[in-house]
Structures are given as structure tokens and as C-alpha cells.
Structure 1
Amino acid sequence: MANHKSALKRNRQNIKRNASNTANRTRVKNETKRVLEAVAKKDKDAAEKALHNATKTISSVASKGVLHKRAASRKISGLARQVNKLSASG
């Protein structure tokens, strides 16, 4: 355990940041799940709405540094590809 005042503060900051980052990663997973569920149901409108929300969330999380920008881009691209495939077939 840290003893110096600055190290104690650093620990408090790390705990807060870890909780925030965990919550943000969970938000990304939940939004992704919503898109995939809509795609599985072949519900084009719901999938497009969910994709829009997921894109906003993933971009926001990436801008905060929780996800790497290329990882975020890859996630958005993969989801968009699935939704577009649904639009093309339906």
C-alpha cells in the first residue's frame, strides 16, 4: 500500500478511472449486442437505429482513450458491414 500523499492520490485516481473505463467498455458491449440482436431478427430499422447509437458510443469511448481508435474503427466497420448486408438481402 502506498504511503506518500501523492501515491495515495494516484491510487484514488486509478480506482476512479478504472471504474469509468469498465463502465464505458460495458456500454460498448451492450450497444454492440443490440445491433447484433436486431441483425439476427432481420429487423432493418432497429438494426440501423442500434448501429447509429453504437457508432456514437464507440466513437465517444475511443475519443476518451478507453478503446484504441483503430479498434473502435474496426468495431464500427464490422457492425456496419452486417447491417448493410441485411439491407442488401432484404
Structure 2
Amino acid sequence: MAVHQSAIKRHRQSLKRRAGNRETKSRIKTLIKKAQRAIEMKDQEAVTVQLREANRALDTAVGKGILKRNTASRWFSRLARLAHRTASTS
């Protein structure tokens, strides 16, 4: 365990940040799953809303440094591609 006061504080801060980052990532994954469910149900209105929410959450996470820009882009691209495929087939 850390001995110096500054190291103890940094450890405490890292635990708080880790918890917040995990919470944010979990929320993003939940939003992505909701969007996928809306796509499966072929509810175009819900798909639009869910995609917007997922994209907003991904952009926020990138801005805060929780996710890398390419990771967020890849996740959103997959969602958008899935939505487009199901919209064009129905």
C-alpha cells in the first residue's frame, strides 16, 4: 500500500475515477443493447431515438477520455449499419 500522503490520495482518486468510468461504459452498453432491440423490433421511431441517445453517450465518453475516438466510431458505425440494413429490407 502507498506510504506517502500524495500516493494515498492518488489511489483514492483512481478508485473514484475507475468507478465512474465503469458506470459510464455500462450505461453505453445498455444504450447500445436498447438500440439493437429497437432495430430488431423494426420500430423506426424508437430506432432513431435510441441511436441518437447512444451516439450522444459515446461522444460524451470520448470527450471525457473514457473511450477512444475510434472505438466509439466503430461501435456507432456498427449500430448505424445494422439499422440501415433492417430499414432497407423492410
Global fold match (TM > 0.5):
yes
Structure 1 spans left out of the alignment, 5+ residues: none
Q: Distance in 1 between matches of 2:23 and 2:48?
A: 24
2:25 is aligned to 25
- Corresponding residue pairs, total: 90
Q: Which runs of 4 or more aligned residues in structure 1 lie more than 6 Å from their structure 2 counterparts after TM superposition? A: none
AA in 2 matched with 1:25 = K
| CA deviation vs aligned residue, 1:28-87 (integer Å, no higher than 9, x gap) | 101000100001111111111100000000111111111110000001111111111222
Structure 2 spans left out of the alignment, 5+ residues: none
Q: Distance in 2 between matches of 1:86 and 1:43?
A: 10
SS in 2 for 1:46: helix
Q: Distance in 2 between matches of 1:61 and 1:18?
A: 13
Pairs within 5 Å for 1:58-77: 58-77=58-77
Identity %: 36
Q: TM-score, normalised by structure 1?
A: 0.94
Name the Cα RMSD after superposition: 0.9
SS in 2 for 1:78: helix
